[in-house]
C-alpha cells in the first residue's frame, strides 16, 4: 500500500499542459482550465520535445533496468518534471543520469542517486506498514528531490543554507503546489528540531561525521541516509537505523556529493 499525497500538476503521459503558476486559487480544482496561451510557451520552453513525459518514462525505464524496484519511487520520478528545476540551457540534459549545476557552486543530484536514496528510505522498518511519515531533507538545492519526496512521504521538511537556492527552490516548487513540502532557510547540520521526530532524514550534502542532532531527531524505527566521508576521505552512502537496541549503521556504495557546510550564507 502506498501513501502518496496528490500531485496536482499532471500525470505522466497525460500530455497535459504545464502546471499553472501558483496563485490561481489554493485548493481550487486541479488540472482543468489552465490558462489559454500557456500551452505554447510552456511546450517551447521545455526544450526536450513536446512530450517530456515520454523522455521521463525512458529515464524511469533505465532506472528500473539499473536496479530500482520500488513502484512508488519509479512513479514519483516519472511524475516530477526534472527539467523545470534546471536552467533553460540545461533542459536537454535534464533526463540524463547526470548531476547538473544549479548555481552557487551546487548541483542537482543524479536521478539514479535520488531514486536509490528514496528507495532506501521507503524500505526502512517504520515505512513498511503505513508508508513514509515525516521526512527531513538536508540541502534543498533546487527543490527537485524535495518534490520527489513530497510524493512519497506524508510531510517533507527541507532545509537549505544558501538563501539564493532556498529562493530558487521556492520558485521552482510553486507551480507544483505540494502542500506537504515545507521549505526552510537554515543550517541543516543542526537538523530541524521543530519538525522532529522524523521517520526519515536524507542528506544531499556530505560531511565528515553524522551530526548528533540528526540521530536525536530521528524517530524510533526511523532511517537516516546520508553521504559521509570514511577513512581515506572517500565519500560513501551511509544508512543509520534507529532501533530499540541503538543505532545500526551500514556503509553502502561510494558517492559524490557537494560538501555539507555550517552556517547560513
Ligand atoms: N536535493 C538537492 C541537491 C542539492 S545539492 C536537489 O534536488 O537539487 C546539496 C545542497 O545542500 C546545496 O544546495 C548546499 O547548499 C546544501 N547544504 C550544504 N550544507 C548544508 C547545511 N548545513 N544545511 C542546509 N543545506 C546545506
What residues does ligand 1 touch, defined as CB less than 6 Å away? Answer: 102, 106-109, 138-139, 141-142, 144-145, 159-162, 165, 187-189, 204-205, 258, 260-262
Return d(Cα 144, Cα 56) in angstroms, integer.
Answer: 14
Residue 198's Cβ-count burial label (10 Å; 0-12, 13-18, 19+) is: buried
Q: Please state the atom number of ligand 1 nearest to the C-alpha of residue 263.
A: 22
pLDDT bucket at 127, cuts 50 / 70 / 90: confident
Residue 39 in any domain: the answer is no
Q: Residue 122: CB partners within 8 Å, gap ≥ 6? A: 70, 72, 73, 132, 152
pLDDT tens, position by position, 1-22: 444 443 333 333 333 334 433 3
In a domain, 136, yes or no: yes
29: in domain:
no
pLDDT attached to residue 1: 42
Helix (H) / strand (E) element for 222: namely strand 218-229
* 106 CA → ligand 1 middle, Å: 7
The total number of structural domains that make up the chain = 1
The domain that holds 216 is classified in CATH as 3.40.50.150
Q: Spell out where 150-203 has E strands.
A: 153-160, 181-185, 198-203
Residue matched to cell numbers 541543516 = 188
Q: Is residue 201 part of a domain?
A: yes
Please check whether residue 6 lies inside any domain of the structure. no
**CA 4, CA 6: separation in Å to the nearest integer?**
6
User: Would the pLDDT of 27 be above 50?
Assistant: no
- What is the pLDDT, as a whole number, of residue 43? 39
Q: Does 109 participate in catalysis according to the annotation?
A: yes
Indicate the helix (H) or strand (E) that contains 225.
Answer: strand 218-229
Domain encompassing residue 135: 53-259
pLDDT at 69: 97
Cell digits of residue 65 = 533496468
Tell me whether residue 128 is in a domain.
yes
Say if 15 falls within a structural domain: no
Q: What is the pLDDT of residues 155-208, one digit of tens each?
A: 999 999 999 999 999 999 999 999 999 999 999 999 999 999 999 999 999 999
Mean pLDDT of the chain: 85
pTM (2 decimals)? Answer: 0.84
Q: Cell numbers 536496479 label which residue?
A: 67
CA distances from residue 21 to 17, 18, 117, 152, 175 in whole angstroms, order as listed: 12, 9, 29, 23, 5
Q: Is residue 239 part of a domain?
A: yes
Per-residue pLDDT tens over the stretch 214-235: 999 999 999 999 999 998 889 9
Amino acid at each position: 500500500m502506498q501513501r502518496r499525497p496528490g500531485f496536482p500538476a499532471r500525470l505522466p503521459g497525460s500530455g497535459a499542459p504545464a502546471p499553472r503558476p501558483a496563485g490561481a486559487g489554493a485548493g481550487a480544482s486541479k488540472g482543468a482550465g489552465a490558462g489559454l496561451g500557456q500551452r505554447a510557451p510552456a511546450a517551447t520552453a521545455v526544450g526536450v520535445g513536446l512530450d517530456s513525459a515520454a523522455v521521463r518514462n525512458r529515464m524511469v525505464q533505465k532506472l528500473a533496468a539499473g536496479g530500482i524496484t520500488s513502484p512508488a519511487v519509479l512513479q514519483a520520478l516519472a511524475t516530477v518534471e526534472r527539467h523545470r528545476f534546471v536552467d533553460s540551457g540545461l533542459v536537454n540534459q535534464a533526463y540524463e543520469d547526470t548531476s547538473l549545476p544549479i548555481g552557487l557552486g551546487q548541483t542537482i543530484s543524479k536521478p539514479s542517486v535520488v531514486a536509490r536514496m528514496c528507495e532506501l528510505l521507503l524500505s526502512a522498518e517504520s515505512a513498511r506498514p503505513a508508508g513514509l511519515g515525516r521526512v527531513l531533507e538536508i540541502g534543498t538545492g533546487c527543490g527537485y528531490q524535495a518534490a520527489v519526496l513530497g510524493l512519497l512521504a506524508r510531510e517533507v521538511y527541507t532545509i537549505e543554507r544558501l538563501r539564493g537556492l532556498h529562493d530558487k527552490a521556492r520558485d521552482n516548487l510553486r507551480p507544483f503546489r505540494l502542500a506537504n513540502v515545507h521549505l526552510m532557510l537554515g543550517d541543516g547540520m543542526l537538523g530541524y528540531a521543530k519538525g522532529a521526530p522524523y521517520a526519515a532524514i536524507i542528506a544531499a550534502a556530505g560531511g565528515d561525521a553524522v551530526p548528533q542532532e540528526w540521530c536525536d531527531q530521528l524517530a524510533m524505527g526511523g532511517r537516516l541516509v546520508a553521504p559521509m566521508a570514511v577513512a581515506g576521505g572517500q565519500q560513501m552512502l551511509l544508512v543509520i537505523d534507529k532501533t530499540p537496541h541503538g543505532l545500526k549503521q551500514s556503509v553502502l556504495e561510494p558517492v559524490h556529493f557537494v560538501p555539507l557546510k555550517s552556517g547560513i550564507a
